Amino acid sequence: MDLGIKGKRALVCAGSKGLGRGCAEALAAAGVDLVLNARGAEALEATAAAIRAAHGVTVTTVAADITTEAGRAEVLKAAGAVDILVTNAGGPPPGVWSDWTRDDFIKALDANMLTPIALMTALLPGMIEAGWGRVINITSQSVKAPIAQLGLSNAARTGLTGYVAGTARQVAPQGVTINNLLPGIHDTDRATALDAGVMKAEGISADEARARRAATIPARRYGTAAEFGAACAFLCSVHAGFIVGQNILLDGGATNATI
């Protein structure tokens, strides 16, 4: 399917690895030029080089922490006007409700709620002026079904979801869509880190921890970054203009809900 977005320009945040990279790759495969961000320059440059070589698109890199004001300023300066924005950042650490302090919540809100909101605030006006735009926020399955030990994530991402629900309806008349992609367990460094937590807590091997988590998913496997990226690229396509303010689960059926 021709996604109809060849020649458009996208900012993909936190995109040197994992799900962000999956989105960057799929957009590049559709002919989209990229501004790609992550903190670590080495992995970022390696990913950018691989994408340029595979897809022949322009990839501008900005090594910066997207959750800081200075980092965002640097990224936004390099990005200029974009047609597509993919927001992403690392997720908050797991823990127990009784340990979380105000500072922990502020950090989580900053990273996973206020950062995507700041990026939308900066970039939506240009999309509205152009009469076309796409925003995809990478959130989490935890928005639909809480993951107890990820309370900081549950809280911050639910806040973002509420913001998107209203804002998506305010910008839709100008041809701009905002949607959230909700990953369940995907095969990335983040998933490996969570596997390691299970391994330690239960005193089992890495393979056993992974097998136990995979067994909780009806698809009986982890998702891939490529599958995730393909869904992102479709939502950014010309065909997805009627999909507004949705929260789309990519979880292999793990969230046991009818709707």
Binding site for ligand NAP (CB under 6 A): 14-20, 37-40, 43, 65-67, 88-91, 138, 140-141, 183, 185-186, 188-191
Burial 117-151 (b: 16+ CB within 10 A, else e): bbbbebbbebbbeeebbbbbbbbbbbbbbeeebbb
Which candidate, 215, 144, 220, 209, places its Cα nearest to that of 183? 144
Question: Residue 247: how many CB atoms within 10 A of its CB?
Answer: 16
Complex with ligand NAP: residue 119 or 236, whichever CB lies closer: 119
DSSP 8-state symbol, 255: S
184 vs 137: CA distance, rounded Å: 14
CA distances from 69 to 38, 164, 215, 238 (A): 14, 21, 41, 32
C-beta separation of 14 from 89 below 8 A: yes
Q: Which is nearer to ligand NAP, 55 or 186 (CB)?
A: 186
The least distance separating ligand NAP from the CB of residue 39, rounded to whole angstroms, comes to 3
Least Å distance between CB 167 and ligand NAP? 20
Minimum CB distance to ligand NAP smaller for 245 or for 252? 252
* Residue 6 Cβ vs ligand NAP, minimum distance, rounded to whole Å: 25
Nearest distance, CB of residue 4 and ligand NAP, angstroms: 26
**Nearer Cβ to ligand NAP, position 8 or 210?**
210
Nearer to ligand NAP, 179 or 188 (CB): 188
In the complex, what is the shortest distance from the CB of residue 104 to ligand NAP, in angstroms, rounded to a whole number? 15
